[in-house]
Structure 1
Amino acid sequence: MTLHRLGKDPESPEGKSPTVYYDDVTGHYLLQGWKVLDAERLRQLDIPDHETVIEFPQRMMQFFPEVNGSGGTGTNS
């Protein structure tokens, strides 16, 4: 399995998060983002025990190949 970093948030302080990764074995995306800790927002969601929720800015959608038209899994920083 190889994870491909597709892009990091150019507006993130210190350039550490959020980040979009692509798993070339499963064909799934892995999203690194901010933990959602606000109880009011979490109450509105139905989250199974084996899942979690992160907050992910809309500006990061540009790194998904389906959106940017690259069709591949290039690596952007």
Structure 2
Amino acid sequence: MRLTFIGKDPGSNPAGSPTLYRTDRDSWVVQGWVVTDSDALAQMDIPKGETCVEIPDRMMRFFGQGDRGVDIG
């Protein structure tokens, strides 16, 4: 899988997460905060081999930017 960096959370301190990447497989990879809230996890059906992360609303501006990021692959 080849990743293209799209953007980091502009409000992150220190600047390292969340981060959004576009793949060469027509998908997205999201780096974010691990969801550990048991009530929230109980509301989801997360199959083995998958996980979920939380990102803030301010990251939504990066979606739709496609390959306009910086290639890190």
| TM-score tier (shorter) | 0.7 to 0.9
Aligned length: 70
Pairwise CA RMSD of aligned residues? 1.5
Structure 2: 5+ residue stretches without partners: none
1:15-60 alpha-carbon deviations (Å, 9 max, x no partner)? 1000110112x11100000000111111111111121011111111
Name the TM-score, length of structure 2 as normaliser. Answer: 0.85
Which portions of structure 1, spanning 4 or more consecutive aligned residues, are displaced by more than 4 angstroms? none
Name the TM-score, length of structure 1 as normaliser. Answer: 0.81
Residue in 2 aligned with 1:52? 51
Q: How does 1:1-77 map to 2 (within 5 A)?
A: 1-24=1-24, 26-65=25-64, 70=65, 72-75=66-69
Structure 1: 5+ residue stretches without partners: none
Question: SS of 2:11's equivalent?
Answer: coil
Tell which has more relative contact order, 1 or 2 (C-alpha 8 A, sep 6+): 2
Over the matched positions of the two proteins, sequence identity in percent amounts to 46
